[in-house]
Structure 1
Amino acid sequence: MYRGEGRGVRRRGIAAMLLILCSVAAVACSNTKTQGNVEEQATQGRVVGVDTISKQPLTTNYTLSGTLAPVSEMSAAFEVPGRIVESNVQIGDVVKKGDVLAKLDTYQYRLQLDEAIQGVEQAKAALDSAEASIRASTAQVKSAEANLLEIKKGARKQQRERMKNALTLAQAAYEKAQIDAERSQSLYEQGLVSQSDNENAQLALTSAQNAVEDAESAVSEMQEGATKEQIQAASGVLDEANSGKLVSIAAKKQASAAYNAALAAQRQAELALSKTTLISRFDGVVLAKAFNNGELAAEGQPVYTLGKVDELKVLLPLPDNEAKQWEKGSVVDISLYDQVTKGTVEKIYPLTNAATGTINGEIVINNVKLGWSPGQVVKVGLHQSGREVILVPVEAVISDGDKPFVYKLEKGIAVKTIVQLGGNMVNNQLEISGGLKVGEQIVTQGADMLFDGDKIQAAEGAAQ
């Protein structure tokens, strides 16, 4: 080995030893400083970030999207079946109440109406006949009643006078016929009259005698009154007339019922014919059309779907923890492209969707001037401000099971304090609804390293 090379090696070894000595000295200095800091923290407390509690205006923005729909919809359907022969409106058309939407083929319904009209005419004829029968039977009853009454009362004074006069006339005629017959017989015996003339005179005498006997019998009956048989006969005639009247009344009732049934059938046929025309029940817009001309439509099967678009609604799926912020009557912003308008929270539905955990909220918009259409997607914004609440940084709140807590700074000690959380988080700050008061100090930085009762001190620059 050369001498020069030995000196170089020795120099490098000395340099390395000096470097090691310097490193040991630096570590020793550092350990001495750290030990001093630990001793200081043990004496004065751990340094933490501290804030003083105050109330701040809470401004919360909620933005959700939804699809516009009519506030009210109605299906327009025929109330009778048939084949559609006329469609007057298409999807998107504006209709007014009373407008004709569509028509069915009316041939079958007109035939039914003609048959019903003929049935009414026949029933009316039968009813008129029954009423005529009642009038005739009523007249028969009155006649039979009058006859029975006369028989029971006997002949009136005028009748008695007429019968007596008739008897007197019959007797006078008989006396004259008797004289004529005796004279004719004498002349015949003398041969002055023919046998034929004599026989006629004798016959006239016999007839006159019979007339006297009839008149005498009538006068006798008048004086004695009606017999029992005559009264019974007259009563029988009256009973028969009353029975006939009852039959006529029953026939009229039956005819009247048939007539009313025929009228009802006619009205039903007229109604069915009127239902072959489909009329709009309110002002709105045609949202859907299910049939074309020539197709068969069943009774009650929707042909059109109509909606009122002067007011529109949006159903929003609200997260259940935010639903209470969307109070009924709240005013919200509705935006569609570059248009913005106001809407009103109309209702919050009572049930939660089990699949999504959301609650439907219904927002209503006045669409009279906007001209927006069902099916368009809009954004809905709810802005809440003005309410003053306590807000603390998220890192200040520690969760311990179901009871979140913070550490308050009280006389240099960390005091574990249970708090109640509100329903809002703004800018990484939690709303505290209970457990803290304005003016109290809490640990906002380093809380996760503390235990209840630890000594702490606020970092330089922290709120005091």
Structure 2
Amino acid sequence: MNRKGYFAGIAILLVISLTACSTDSSTIAVNTTSSNVTFTTIQKQALNVNYNLSGTLTAYTETPITFRTAGTVTSVKGEIGQQVKKGAVLATLDTADLNLSLADANQSVAAAQADLSSANASLKDVQAAKQNAMATVSSANAQLASAQAKIDSARVSEQSVLSGARSQEKAQSQNAVNKAQTAYNQAKAEATRSQTLASNGLLTQQENEQAQMALADATDSLKDAQAKLSLTLEGASDSERADAASAVTQAQTGIASAQATIEQAKASVAQAEAGIAQSQAGVDKAKASYDQAITAKNKIVLSLSYTTLKAQTSGVILEKNVSVGQTVSAGSSGGGAMGSSSDPFVIGETTRLKVLLPVADSEISQWKVGQEVSVSLYDDVRTGKVTKLYPQTNESTGSINAEVTVSNTKQDWKPGQVVKASRQATTQKGILLPVEAVISTGDKPYVFKNIKGKAVQTFVTVGESYNNQYVIKSGLQVGEQVVVQGADRLFNGDTLATPKNAQEVTAHD
């Protein structure tokens, strides 16, 4: 049977009978003198309009789990019906080829990284060469400025030598001679006087010597002043003129040398800039190759991670369509004929189940999202809720699907089982008992109540039945305890002793 299918041909009974939406009472096992029995405490329960709809249970969610890379299956760890958690490993693929590819990719990355390092080193070298050339340009400019200052000074000196002394300089030299002559005359007179006094014993020898030394100094100063005056009056000599011209020539040579150095340094800068552009292109190319190698490696690493198939959600494995040795492609199980789909696994959430109920289009207006629906599987009745009303009719039946979700925390209901359902359409309540609790061997049906540990036969009036339950119209009151299993083995007045290991059972909602 297709798990996702449902019975399309559902008869909607025209006869409406009163049934229970759920069994809210609890049951407790007790002992009689012969065997165990169970009883329930009477409570009023909501009664429903019965539409006798049927449908097939499906998981609340179904998640296909597929491989994201191709390969050969080496292990399968998940089995149908297995409860798995998110991240659990379900299957693995052979990684030998990918590991070889990864080794090649690592070598390519290492080679590309070495090329990139070399290109960066070359770029740094030409950048350093440019910095050195620029420093040379700056130094040459400083030399040029210094040479320019020297030639200016040399030209001034040469002009001074060629022009001779000015009148002011001649007057200054003459004044210096006059002062030196006066000082000489005074020193000479003092020296003569000192010599006479010393000869007569009126002056010490030391004082006489000091006067003679002063005369000698005055004589030297006079000669120097007279020589300077002579040079000033006569003008520069040929050698001085030659020296001045030579200084100008040397300064001009310094300028030419500095200018040549500047031009050479500028050429070096231009050459370095061209080298930088070329080296940068090499770096860019090496970086692109490195990035490409890294991308190729990352793809292989990603593909390796895809060789382990993991559960993307928690739940129960509903389908398994893969086996060891099978070759699979990305996104499927490789076309194996193991199941109804090509997905390697399908995981479903079964703590909640869904059922599609085909509702007659004439009745769909009475159905609302959020309303409660009684859903039964054999004798187990639960309360579900309408979660979706489909917007169009089924082409084959003309009915409209109502999606009902029902709790399945114990996971005792299974996807694929067929359930019956009825929509609760009234707030009327009544007393309900399982069919086996009512004994109908005679004209009057009866039940056994538990009164102070005794089985008491009690006649009741029975109404409609649905899902193996009778509506009790009279004979019982809320709060009374009634035997629901084993009543056919009891006699009026039997002792009902509750055992120590009695188990209280709460019915499903």
Q: Under a length normalisation based on structure 1, what TM-score does the superposition of the two structures give? A: 0.56
Is 1:105 paired with 2:94?
yes
Match of 2:362 in 1: 321
What is the rounded CA distance, in whole Å, between the counterparts of 1:119 and 1:59 in structure 2?
A: 74
Paired residues for 1:257-272 under 5 Å: 257-272=288-303
Match of 1:290 in 2: 321
Q: Which stretches in structure 1 are left out of the alignment for 5+ residues?
A: 1-57, 162-214, 388-464
How far 1:90 sits from its partner (Å)?
0.9
SS in structure 2 at match of 1:133: helix
Paired residues for 1:190-269 under 5 Å: 223-226=254-257, 228-269=259-300
Q: Is the 8 A contact 1:333 1:341 kept in 2?
A: yes
Q: Is the 8 A contact 2:392 2:400 kept in 1?
A: yes
Match of 2:58 in 1: 69
Q: Comparing 91-100 with 246-255, which one deviates more in the overlay?
A: 246-255
Q: Is the 8 A contact 1:154 1:222 kept in 2?
A: no
Is 1:280 paired with 2:311?
yes
How far 1:126 sits from its partner (Å)?
1.0
Among 328, 338, 362, the alignment partner of 2:379 is 338
Identity of aligned residues (%): 36
Paired residue type of 1:285: V
Is 1:356 paired with 2:397?
yes
Match of 1:398 in 2: none
Taking structure 1 as reference, are residues 107 and 216 closer, same or farther at Cα in structure 2, changes over 3 Å only?
A: farther
How far 1:354 sits from its partner (Å)?
2.5
How far 1:234 sits from its partner (Å)?
2.7
Match of 1:437 in 2: none
How far 1:94 sits from its partner (Å)?
0.8
What is the rounded CA distance, in whole Å, between the counterparts of 1:324 and 1:224 in structure 2?
A: 107
What is the rounded CA distance, in whole Å, between the counterparts of 2:383 and 2:320 in structure 1?
A: 31
Taking structure 1 as reference, are residues 156 and 78 closer, same or farther at Cα in structure 2, changes over 3 Å only?
A: same
Is 1:149 paired with 2:175?
no
SS in structure 2 at match of 1:355: coil
Q: Is the 8 A contact 1:98 1:281 kept in 2?
A: yes
Paired residues for 1:15-164 under 5 Å: 60-154=49-143
What number of residue pairs does the alignment pair up? 276
Q: Is the 8 A contact 1:343 1:364 kept in 2?
A: yes
Taking structure 1 as reference, are residues 227 and 69 closer, same or farther at Cα in structure 2, changes over 3 Å only?
A: same
List per-residue Cα deviations over 1:82-117 (Å, max 9, x = no partner): 111100011111111010000010111112221221
Paired residue type of 1:132: A
Paired residue type of 2:58: A
What is the rounded CA distance, in whole Å, between the counterparts of 1:77 and 1:218 in structure 2?
A: 92
How far 1:224 sits from its partner (Å)?
3.8
Paired residues for 1:426-437 under 5 Å: none
Taking structure 1 as reference, are residues 137 and 294 closer, same or farther at Cα in structure 2, changes over 3 Å only?
A: same
SS in structure 1 at match of 2:122: helix
Q: Is the 8 A contact 1:288 1:304 kept in 2?
A: yes
What is the rounded CA distance, in whole Å, between the counterparts of 2:304 and 2:411 in structure 1?
A: 41
What is the rounded CA distance, in whole Å, between the counterparts of 1:257 and 1:376 in structure 2?
A: 60
SS in structure 2 at match of 1:153: helix
Match of 1:52 in 2: none
Taking structure 1 as reference, are residues 248 and 308 closer, same or farther at Cα in structure 2, changes over 3 Å only?
A: same
Deviation >4 Å, runs of 4+: 155-158, 215-223, 227-230
Match of 1:195 in 2: none
What is the rounded CA distance, in whole Å, between the counterparts of 1:223 and 1:66 in structure 2?
A: 109
What is the rounded CA distance, in whole Å, between the counterparts of 1:341 and 1:218 in structure 2?
A: 119
Q: Under a length normalisation based on structure 2, what TM-score does the superposition of the two structures give? A: 0.51
Cα RMSD of the aligned pairs, angstroms, is 2.7
Match of 1:311 in 2: 352
Q: Is the 8 A contact 1:288 1:306 kept in 2?
A: yes
Taking structure 1 as reference, are residues 81 and 59 closer, same or farther at Cα in structure 2, changes over 3 Å only?
A: closer
What is the rounded CA distance, in whole Å, between the counterparts of 1:78 and 1:227 in structure 2?
A: 75
Match of 1:397 in 2: none
List per-residue Cα deviations over 1:392-440 (Å, max 9, x = no partner): xxxxxxxxxxxxxxxxxxxxxxxxxxxxxxxxxxxxxxxxxxxxxxxxx
Paired residue type of 1:93: Q
How far 1:222 sits from its partner (Å)?
5.7
Q: Is the 8 A contact 1:152 1:226 kept in 2?
A: no
SS in structure 2 at match of 1:236: helix
How far 1:291 sits from its partner (Å)?
1.5
Q: Is the 8 A contact 1:155 1:222 kept in 2?
A: no
Paired residue type of 1:66: G
How far 1:223 sits from its partner (Å)?
4.3
List per-residue Cα deviations over 1:19-42 (Å, max 9, x = no partner): xxxxxxxxxxxxxxxxxxxxxxxx
How far 1:253 sits from its partner (Å)?
1.6
Q: Is the 8 A contact 2:143 2:258 kept in 1?
A: no
SS in structure 2 at match of 1:328: coil
SS in structure 2 at match of 1:384: coil
What is the rounded CA distance, in whole Å, between the counterparts of 2:77 and 2:281 in structure 1?
A: 53
How far 1:229 sits from its partner (Å)?
4.4
Paired residue type of 2:279: S
Is 1:373 paired with 2:362?
no
Among 420, 424, 449, the alignment partner of 1:383 is 424
Paired residue type of 2:304: L
What is the rounded CA distance, in whole Å, between the counterparts of 2:254 and 2:344 in structure 1?
A: 92
Match of 2:39 in 1: none
List per-residue Cα deviations over 1:19-72 (Å, max 9, x = no partner): xxxxxxxxxxxxxxxxxxxxxxxxxxxxxxxxxxxxxxx973212111110111
SS in structure 1 at match of 2:392: strand
Q: Comparing 305-314 with 323-332, which one deviates more in the overlay?
A: 323-332
Match of 2:15 in 1: none
Taking structure 1 as reference, are residues 157 and 220 closer, same or farther at Cα in structure 2, changes over 3 Å only?
A: closer
Paired residues for 1:439-458 under 5 Å: none
Q: Is the 8 A contact 1:77 1:300 kept in 2?
A: yes
Taking structure 1 as reference, are residues 72 and 368 closer, same or farther at Cα in structure 2, changes over 3 Å only?
A: same
What is the rounded CA distance, in whole Å, between the counterparts of 1:369 and 1:306 in structure 2?
A: 17
SS in structure 2 at match of 1:314: strand
Query: Which structure shows the bigger proportion of residues in strand conformation?
Result: 1
What is the rounded CA distance, in whole Å, between the counterparts of 2:387 and 2:131 in structure 1?
A: 78
What is the rounded CA distance, in whole Å, between the counterparts of 1:375 and 1:331 in structure 2?
A: 22
